[in-house]
Amino acid sequence: MTVTIYHNPDCGTSRNTLAMIRQSGVEPKVIDYRANPPSRARLEQLIADAGLSVRQAIRQKDTPYAELGLDDPALSDDALLDAMLAHPILINRPFVETPRGVRLCRPSEAVLDILQNPEIGPFTKEDGEVIIDAGGRRLV
């Protein structure tokens, strides 16, 4: 099974998502989208396959979102995509693609919905939040 994660190693949500994928028994293809951003067509496809609008896929926190005026509701999807490609940090993360679908994994446990083996055993996020308890019950 091929799993691809568009990853930011500086992001806790992205690191937690990657850890859950690996705990499921899969070594994913890891793409640091900041260094290797997807093409425009690929980004549009990821957003569409995840069932999101372009505006939902843009990251605001810790990005140049406000200084670029991207909060202007009159901006077109094309203008937002242009900004995301010019500043890949604006691409929300992590996007994960598996044979079962594409998700923007915010929160990170959203990845469990598209993993072939979502029964990954106990899992605690970096911040101490328990996602799956010792009995294998998903708590969130």
As annotated, the active-site residues are 11
- 70-79 LR contacts (CB < 8 Å, sep 24+): 77/53
Q: Where are the alpha helices (DSSP H) in 8-76?
A: 12-23, 40-49
d(CA 124, CA 19): 10
CA 138 to chain centre: 20
Beta bridge partners of 59: none
Phi, psi angle pair for 55, to nearest 5°: -60, -35
The string of DSSP codes covering 92-114 is: -S-EEEETTEEEE-SSGGGGGGT
